[in-house]
Amino acid sequence: MALSAADAKTWSREEVITSPGPILLLGAPGVGKGTQAKALMAAWGIPQISTGDLLRGNVSQGTPLGKMAKAVLDRGELVSDELVNEMVAVRLTRPDTAAGYILDGYPRTLGQAAWVDDHLNGKGPAALPVVAVSIEVGYNQLLRRITGRRTCPVCKSIYNIYLQQPRVDEVCDLDGTALTRRSDDTEEVFEERMRAYEAQTAPVVEHYRARGRFERVDGEQPVNAVTAAVMNAVRRLRS
């Protein structure tokens, strides 16, 4: 979601348009990273860079890197850090990254984080290093967000039986269609994803914390308040 006109008034012109440099948004499944990324993109005019999108794009376009990745995937293997790094390096040469960008799903490992630091040393938007901001939401709240999620298969409206209930239980307000639940929106799958996220993210968080480039923000506030908190965190980390 974009930063509203009312919210933008709380920022000076300089604060809204100053180049933020590269930003890594961290957060467990369900914290709202996608929503916050869209708000930052609108406020600062910077792109979001998803390694998943890069991988799919390179494969579908048949680029040299995409052909190498497809061969790996066809063997049922994971694409190496080196190949992902190369895709990111190519993406960062595009002019829309000049003021900064939001990293999504990358870096996931210490090796990737170290590569990013080395690659950006003296390069990129004002030669700024990556700063990491983690959106924090309590376990029980996240569980309710995930397991309570329901979607209308017709109009794609999204509800939550705990947080944003339809007027009639399990029925879409707009067209009366029975709501559906994703097969992976279960407590068991959520617990597994949380364990994987924490194990994978802990060393990356420590990497940025040790370098003074990490902050946490409260993700249980209203959406606009979280956006403001993330922007403030970036400004502090850049000061």
Residue 214's identity, in one-letter code, is F
Any catalytic annotation for residue 108? yes
Contact (Cβ atoms closer than 8 angstroms) between residue 234 and residue 152: no
Say how far apart CA 25 and CA 6 lie, in whole Å: 24
Any catalytic annotation for residue 145? no
DSSP 9: T
Helix (H), strand (E) at residue 160: strand 158-160
Q: Which residue among the candidates 70, 144, 181, 193 is catalytic per the annotation?
A: 193
Give φ, ψ of 30 to 5 degrees: 95, 0
Q: Which residue among the candidates 91, 145, 149, 213 is catalytic per the annotation?
A: 149
Q: Which residue among the candidates 108, 144, 181, 209 is catalytic per the annotation?
A: 108
Any catalytic annotation for residue 149? yes
Nearest to 32, CA basis, from 237, 218, 236: 218
Q: Which residue among the candidates 33, 91, 145, 213 is catalytic per the annotation?
A: 33
Say how far apart CA 72 and CA 56 lie, in whole Å: 13
Q: Which residue among the candidates 67, 94, 123, 182 is catalytic per the annotation?
A: 182
Q: 21-26 and 131-136: which strand pairing?
A: parallel
CA 147 to chain centre: 20
Tell me which residues are annotated as active site: 33, 108, 149, 182, 193
